């Protein structure tokens, strides 16, 4: 049972570089999410997707882009990396509806990103 798989696990970037954080899930979940986690700040939603071809901004989308071409994959792209984007990034998925879900989100193990 792979669940949600994130790659890479660790990465160091220089200011101004770009990279893509990969996320794939094998549970056929319709919703997928990207969060960042900073110490003492909980999880902040960056972007989410309710299905293939549909994405929407979360609470902190600036400096990031996403795409959802398939149900399984939801990559997060950082353009022009900045020190403020140093964080731990988590991808999650769930089976939800627009009204409400009460369904758990299943998380990957995170990507630890440092920008120097």
* Least distance in angstroms from the C-beta of 12 to another protein: 17
Please answer whether residues 106 and 94 qualify as being in contact, where contact means their C-beta atoms are separated by less than 8 angstroms: yes
DSSP letter at 4? E
What phi and psi, each to the nearest 5 degrees, are found at residue 15? -55, 130
Residue 110 in the binding site for another protein (CB under 8 A)? yes
Residue 42 in the binding site for another protein (CB under 8 A)? yes
Among 57, 79, 109, 114, binds another protein (CB under 8 A): 109
Q: Is the backbone peptide bond immediately before 38 cis, with ω within 30 degrees of 0? A: no
- For 43-52, b/e burial (b = at least 16 CB within 10 A) is bebbbbbeeb
Among 34, 48, 64, 74, binds another protein (CB under 8 A): 48
Q: Is the backbone peptide bond immediately before 102 cis, with ω within 30 degrees of 0? A: no
Residue 11 in the binding site for another protein (CB under 8 A)? no
Residue 34 in the binding site for another protein (CB under 8 A)? no
Residue 104 in the binding site for another protein (CB under 8 A)? yes
**Residues that bind another protein in the complex, under the rule CB under 8 A:** 4, 31, 33, 35, 40-45, 48, 50, 58, 90, 92, 94, 96-105, 107-110
């Amino acid at each position: 049972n792979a669940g949600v798989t994130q790659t890479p696990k660790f990465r160091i970037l220089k200011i101004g570089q770009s990279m893509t954080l990969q996320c794939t899930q094998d549970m056929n979940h319709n919703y997928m999410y990207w969060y960042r986690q900073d110490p003492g700040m909980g999880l902040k939603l960056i972007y989410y997707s309710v299905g293939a071809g549909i994405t929407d901004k979360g609470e902190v989308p600036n400096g990031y882009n996403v795409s959802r071409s398939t149900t399984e994959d939801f990559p997060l792209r950082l353009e022009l990396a900045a020190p403020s984007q140093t964080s731990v990034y988590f991808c999650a998925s769930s089976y939800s509806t627009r009204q409400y879900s009460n369904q758990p989100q299943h998380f990957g193990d995170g990507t630890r990103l440092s920008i120097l």
